[in-house]
Amino acid sequence: MFQLKNILNGFLAGAVGGMAVDLIFITFIGPSALFTIIGITERFNVFIAHAVLCGILGVLFVIIVKRFSRFNIWLAGVLWGLICLALIGGVPSFIASSIIPVTTTATIFAFVVWILYGLILAAAIKFSGKKNNEK
Give the pLDDT confidence score for residue 126 in this predicted structure.
Answer: 85
Residue 70, in any domain of the structure: yes
Per-residue pLDDT at 4: 84
What local confidence, expressed as pLDDT, does residue 1 receive? 53
CA atoms within 13 A on the CB side of 109: 18
Domain that holds residue 42: 4-130
Q: Do 124 and 62 meet the contact criterion of CB atoms below 8 Å apart? A: no
Please count the structural domains in the chain: 1
> What distance in Å separates the CA atoms of residue 22 and residue 4, rounded to the nearest whole number?
27
The pLDDT, as a whole number, for residue 132 is 47
Mean pLDDT by runs of 10 across the 135 residues of the chain is 80 90 78 71 82 92 83 91 88 78 83 92 81 45
* pTM beyond 0.85: no
- Asked if residue 135 belongs to a domain, the reply is no
